[in-house]
Each structure stands twice: as structure tokens, then as C-alpha cells.
Amino acid sequence: MNDEAVLPDWAEAYLLWLATQRRVAAHTLDGYRRDLARLAGFAQARAPQELEAADIRHFVARLHGTGLGGHSIARALSAWRGLYRWLIRNREARQNPVDGIRAPKSLSLLPKALSPEQVAALLDAPSGGSLLEVRDRAMFELFYSSGLRLSELSGLDIASGSHNGWVDFAAGMVTVCGKRARMRTVPVGTQALAALRAWLAVRGQLPVGDETALFVTRNGGHMSAGAVRGRLTRWVKQSGLGVHVHPHMFRHSFASHLLQSSGDLRAVQELLGHASIRSTQVYTHLDFQHLAKVYDATHPRARSK
């Protein structure tokens, strides 16, 4: 199935509504587009209103048969369910055939986090000191310092009070626009603030013009999420860390390290911007893994004879 195929009008209309009315982030919209393309491909010429629960179950079975994992299928079902809710709200459908249909279970994978030593090795890695490397260090320091999502970091502006988010150097805080356009304010560490000041001191040497984004490319344009990923891959390779690192690992590391130090799950929830404590509880498993390793390594009666 080609996820890049042209979508039918009903799918494009729903995506437009998500973008304009719900202000869904661009990377989230990409996921919706892929899942709606799957639904359109399965349905072929049939409109969504013609599909029944039996059809949706058949589509789920086909997705599972292609090797797609339970989490990915659950995401697709969520996108389809949202589509039908939108159709019902607009009186274009009478029922939601996705309701009550669940994805097959898959193994629960815990988010991967770097150790504090790995984070230090990565962030303290020497660089050439070019404009772009000064920018990159500021981005990665802020990622780990404040536990930001990739979309939150790339959306930051230089102007205070921006609806996209900004850094308040005097207060040592960063305000970001998170999921569902919810704003939250998170502390920024001293090393991240220093890296950000160093970046702002040289940002004007790039052809930024009227660009308001905090992080810009060599051409002065807004730094996209994909560009941030690419620069992180380059930085990790140069650091010689020897492990695969993606942007969200900074967020996972931020959360797990804070929880290990403080044990305050509610505080971590607020800092991450999770609407539900259930989203944050996964880090308690990471914490227990850490404690188990410490126990096995240090307790006199835990070591094998």
C-alpha cells in the first residue's frame, strides 16, 4: 500500500480541520496522513460511511498480517476513530464502526534513556566552534535541560510572549507550546542558558532577516524537526558515543534522571506536560530497572556465588 498516494477529499478535509482547528503538530499530522492513507487504500472506492465494524476488523487483521506492531495499529485505529467522530459531528455519518475495536497486543517497550554519564559525554563533546555547532550545542543542551519535545524545541521563537514559545533568560525558564496548543513553562539549567546565550550572540551572523525562530539553518530559515534530527545524528557520530541517539531520548533521559533523583512523579508529570499521570508512570519502570541494577551490583546477598 502506498502511504504517499493522493488522499480522497474526506481525508484531506479532516486533516485540514486537525491543522486549523485542533492545531495538531506537523509531525503528528504526518502520522494521521499515513493512517488515513491506509484506511483509504483498504476501503478502495468506498466512502467511510459505507464501512462497517466487520470491515474495520478485517483491515486490522490485514495490518497485523503485514507485520505492523500493536502500538502502530492502535495509533491507526485512533486516527480512524477520530475521523468518524468528526464525520458524525458534521452529520456526515451516523455511527462509528471503529468504536470497541482494539489493536492486537504487543510487547510493551520501555522508552530508552541515556545514562547521566552518556549525556555528559555527548553534551561535553568538543566541537569545531562553527556557527552551526554553537547552535547545535544550544539545542541539545536545552533538549536535556528542560525535557522538551522535538516540536516544542523547533517551534521556539526569539521574541518573548510568542504563541510558539520563548526563553526567558532573566527567569531561567522556557515557555513552550505543547500538544493541543497547551503552554507550559519549564526551568532551564545554567549550562543550557550559557549555550543559548552563546548561540544568540552569533545568530545574527546568519542571513536571518525577519525570521523569528530561535534556531535557524545556515540559510537563515526556520530549523525543521528533520533538520534537528540530522544535526543530532552528526553530533553523536562526531562524539564517538557509540550508541544510537534520537531527539526524544533527551526527553526520556531528562524524565528518568529526575525521577531517580527526586522520586516525585507528579513534578515530572508537570515538567513533561503530560495530561495524564499514566503517561508519566512508564518512567517508574525505568527507575525500578535502575534500582534493581544497583541492588544486584552492591547488595552482599544479591551477588551470585
If you search the block for the grid coordinates 519535545, which residue do you land on?
149
Q: Which of 97-106, 107-116, 126-135 has the highest mean pLDDT?
A: 126-135
Count of domains in the chain?
A: 2
pLDDT tens for 172-215 read 999 999 888 889 999 999 999 999 999 999 999 999 999 999 99
32 is catalytic: no
Decide which of 295 and 155 is more confident. Answer: 155
Burial 220-257 (b: 16+ CB within 10 A, else e): eebbbbebbeebbeebbeebebeeebebbbbbbbbbbb
pLDDT tens for 247-292 read 989 998 988 888 777 777 788 888 888 877 777 766 665 555 554 5
Write the Ramachandran bin of 98: left for phi over 0, alpha for psi from -120 to 50, otherwise beta.
alpha
State which H helix or E strand residue 299 sits in. none
179 is catalytic: yes
Same-domain check for residues 159 and 65: no
**What pLDDT band is residue 65 in, cutting at 50, 70 and 90?**
confident
pLDDT tens for 75-93 read 999 999 999 999 999 999 9
Same-domain check for residues 163 and 236: yes
Q: Which residues pair with 173 in a beta bridge?
A: 168, 187
248 is catalytic: yes
Residue from 27, 62, 64, 179 carrying the catalytic annotation: 179
Q: Is the pLDDT of residue 4 over 60?
A: no
Same-domain check for residues 173 and 251: yes
CATH number of the domain encompassing residue 161: 1.10.443.10
Same-domain check for residues 144 and 217: yes
Residue from 33, 135, 149, 252 carrying the catalytic annotation: 149
Position 111 scores a pLDDT of: 62
Position 231 scores a pLDDT of: 96
Same-domain check for residues 176 and 248: yes
For residue 181, give its domain range: 116-289
Q: Is the pLDDT of residue 150 over 70?
A: yes
Q: Are 232 and 132 in contact (CB under 8 A)?
A: no
